[in-house]
Amino acid sequence: MSGLLVTVLTPCFNSGQTIEKTLECIENQTYKNIEYIIVDGGSTDNTLKLIERHRSRLPERTTVISERDNGIYDAMNKGIRRAKGHLIGIVNSDDYYERDTVEQVVDHYGNHRYEILYGMQRTYLDGREKAVVIYHHDFLPQQMITHPTCFVTKATYEQFGGFDTQYRSAADYDLMLRYFKSGEVVFTPIYRVLSNFQLGGMSSSQTGVRENALVRSRHGYLSKRKYWFVVMKSHVYELLHRK
């Protein structure tokens, strides 16, 4: 499927310290039929200058949007609406793909109208490799899959909707549970490292823990009693670890 157009999105905001590695991973992809969309939230640091410095090495179909937004999920939704690719991947501005990530995704694509491909993720904490993981979609009611590795058909977003911006850190989990519960979306695991992910953001915080529990509760996978237990436990953790 060498003719298949794949869109990759990068949401960013004041990402001058990290975005070059992300840009380089797009430049070095072994699969070349890529549309690249950068959705910048109006950065005030050197992010846009770095993007411009790399512009000649990025795919010919590169679009940069720079304007204020309502957070990372709003930025992702903007990029999805503009995407022309059959498959859409999202790599954040402090993460990066393997050189053959897009090639692996295209090779494993099952040609289903509603399909999500996902793979293994190498995680880092404070610059040190922590683990290589893959969370299988069969366990989505208990555990989010590795979203930074996901590539989703444009038709899936169009049919089942994008990210719910009421969430600060768990809109990706809500999205995947909606798709999973539909019974119409095919999930295709790829047992190769596709993404390198930096731990320590909102999704790794106690706020993220609470939001994940809230999403599971709203989708009927966690009782209200257990949800409030998770909430109280996370608040206690914060109190004990407050500096």
Residue 210 shares a structural domain with residue 167 = no
Closest by CA to 81, choosing from 158, 176, 4, is 158
Residue 165 shares a structural domain with residue 111 = yes
Q: How confident is the model at residue 130 (pLDDT cuts 50, 70, 90)?
A: confident
Q: How confident is the model at residue 206 (pLDDT cuts 50, 70, 90)?
A: confident
| Cβ atoms of residues 115 and 66 within 8 Å | no
Phi, psi of 199 (to 5 degrees): -75, 160
Q: What is the pTM of this model?
A: 0.92
**Which domain CATH number covers 121?**
3.90.550.10
Residue 136 shares a structural domain with residue 89 = yes
Residue 112 shares a structural domain with residue 148 = yes
Last residue of a domain, one of 163, 180, 199: 199
Residue 177 shares a structural domain with residue 118 = yes
Q: Which residues contact 114 (CB under 8 A, 6 or more apart)?
A: 153, 155, 156, 159, 160, 179, 182, 184, 185, 186
Tell me what the mean pLDDT of segment 66-75 comes to.
96
Query: Has residue 1 been placed in a domain?
Result: no
* Enclosing domain of residue 112: 6-199
Flag the least confident range among 11-20, 107-116, 121-130, 138-147.
121-130
Phi, psi of 17 (to 5 degrees): -80, -15
**Which residues share a beta bridge with 133?**
121
Residue 140 shares a structural domain with residue 167 = yes
Q: What is the pLDDT of residue 227?
A: 74
3-state secondary structure of 118: strand
Query: Has residue 191 been placed in a domain?
Result: yes
Instruction: Give the CA distances from residue 242 to residues 126, 208, 232, 236, 239, in Å, rounded to whole numbers and listed in that order.
Output: 20, 17, 15, 10, 5
Total number of domains in the chain: 2
Residue 223 shares a structural domain with residue 137 = no
Residue 39 shares a structural domain with residue 78 = yes
pLDDT 10s digits, 72-115: 999 999 999 999 999 999 999 999 999 999 999 999 999 999 99
3-state secondary structure of 96: strand
Residue 174 shares a structural domain with residue 223 = no
Q: How confident is the model at residue 187 (pLDDT cuts 50, 70, 90)?
A: very high
Query: Has residue 97 been placed in a domain?
Result: yes
For the chain, give the mean pLDDT: 92
Residue 224 shares a structural domain with residue 150 = no
